[in-house]
Amino acid sequence: MKIGNKNQISILLRKRILDFAVKTEKAHVHIGSCLSAIDILIETLVFQMGSRDRFILSKGHASLALYVVFNYLKKISNKELASYFEEGTHFGIHTPGSMPDLIPLATGSLGHGLSFAAGVALGYKMQDQKTKRHVYVMISDGECNEGAVWEAAQFAVAIRIDNLTVIIDKNRVQALGRNKEVLGDGASVAKWRAFGFNVGTCNGHSFADLSAGFSALNKLKNNRPSVLICKTIRGRGIKSIENKVVSNYTAVTKEVYEEAILNLKS
């Protein structure tokens, strides 16, 4: 599956997100976070991860973006994906706990993914020192408000969990305000470096930048976990909600959908 033009994949999967989001009518599906995270998810899941690596989406409210990538990878069938947001589905607005082989942790209550990912990565190291299966976990910059994130970060450094990569979707906006106006910038290079992580930064909407960011971190062999801070735009592609707090709860109405489709083609 690791073939194809990345930008074309992005357009395809952004349209799928919008197609499913508009079906929910007035329900909010966290479209802002889905559109800020999708390119990072494509690069990570399709082009970076090995077949035995694991991925945890700690910011579970971006679930729809994860589902369409899994569908692209044929890990979720078209029939399964078509059940999104319907009665009895596994695929809701937050990631489920009913598919542990594919989605190892149900998330939505923020702050828990990094702790879980650190434990899984440590388990892999204990099982096989030579193979070192890698664990990737995506968190949000707003999620860095959670104390559990920093407890897990300190643990990962202390235990030298070097097969762990944290990916931060840094769109600078959280549920009810801008990060700098709530608890400040928890996704800063200085803070993560102070905790002992290898730190990289990139444009989270540039596949060349994302690839280079992962490559630079992969070359480091110093027994430290890594973090890639990806600068993104909340609601990217829907100009009326881009980088706005309201994007967290915006329903994808027919009007919003048509605007987004036009922007996709431009």
* Residue 164: Cβ within 10 Å count: 29
Nearest to 148, CA basis, from 176, 114, 172: 114
Full-model pTM: 0.93
Kindly state whether residue 1 falls inside one of the protein's structural domains: no
Asked if the model's pLDDT at residue 2 lies above 60, the reply is no
Q: Would 72 be classed as within a structural domain?
A: yes
Percent of the chain with pLDDT over 90: 61
Rounded percentage of the chain residues whose pLDDT exceeds 70: 93
pLDDT reading at 213 higher than 70: yes
pLDDT digits (tens, 9 = 90+) for 124-141: 999 877 778 999 999 999
- Residues 90-118 pLDDT 10s: 888 888 888 888 999 988 788 799 999 99
Contacts of 7 (CB under 8 A, 6+ apart): 207
pLDDT band at 185 (very low <50, low <70, confident <90, very high): confident
Between 201 and 128, residue with greater pLDDT? 201
pLDDT at 13 over 80: yes
Rounded to an integer, the average pLDDT of 152-169 is: 97
DSSP code, position 265: H
CATH code, domain carrying 175: 3.40.50.970
Instruction: Categorize the per-residue pLDDT at 121 as very low, low, confident or very high, splitting at 50, 70 and 90.
Output: very high
**How many domains does the chain divide into?**
1
- Give the whole-angstrom CA distance, residue 88 versus residue 212: 41
Pair 152, 115: CB distance under 8 Å: yes
Cβ burial 122-132 (10 Å sphere, 16+ → b, else e) = bebbeeeeeee
154 has pLDDT over 90:
yes
Considering the domain boundaries, does residue 167 fall inside one?
A: yes
Query: Which domain, by its residues, includes 254?
Result: 6-265
What is residue 1's predicted lDDT score, i.e. its pLDDT? 43
